Amino acid sequence: MSEVLFGQGTLLKLGNSAGTSFTTIARITDLSLPSMSADSVESTSHDSANFTREFEPGLIDPGELSLTILYDPAEVTHGLTAGLPYLMKNRLKRKFEIHYTDAGDTVWTIEGFVTGFQGSAPIDDNVTADVTIKLSGFPVES
């Protein structure tokens, strides 16, 4: 029987420029996993059966990751000098790791770049930021 995974404890880690060392992105409160999709390419021909369209799988879009953080500019992964906004400003692609909470300690390694960083400072709640990361290439599992 498969185990049911609990979300708490799932980690997203940011790789250094060489992709050899990873730092946990601090204070994530919500992490939406990759929203992958595949195109469909029509392959209908004059001899297709039953007047029915036919399709083949096309290119895969690895999608995006989105996360919400309790924003703290003092956190290295949040700051303007080395964190997620820095990556967006400088248009840098990095490796990321998603560490799942399963008994096998599954890790997905992905490459991507930050496409969105939206902060929020409500009068009666935590300062947060919503971050979007566009993926490039299919995840590799280890």
What are the pLDDT digits (tens) for 34-67? 999 999 999 999 999 999 999 999 999 999 999 9
SS3 category, 84: helix
Tokens of 126: 């935590």
Element (H, E) at 88: helix 84-89
Element (H, E) at 57: strand 55-61
What are the pLDDT digits (tens) for 100-131? 999 889 999 999 999 999 999 999 999 999 99
What are the pLDDT digits (tens) for 8-29? 999 999 999 998 999 999 999 9
d(Cα 107, Cα 13) in Å, to the nearest integer? 10
d(Cα 19, Cα 113) in Å, to the nearest integer? 13
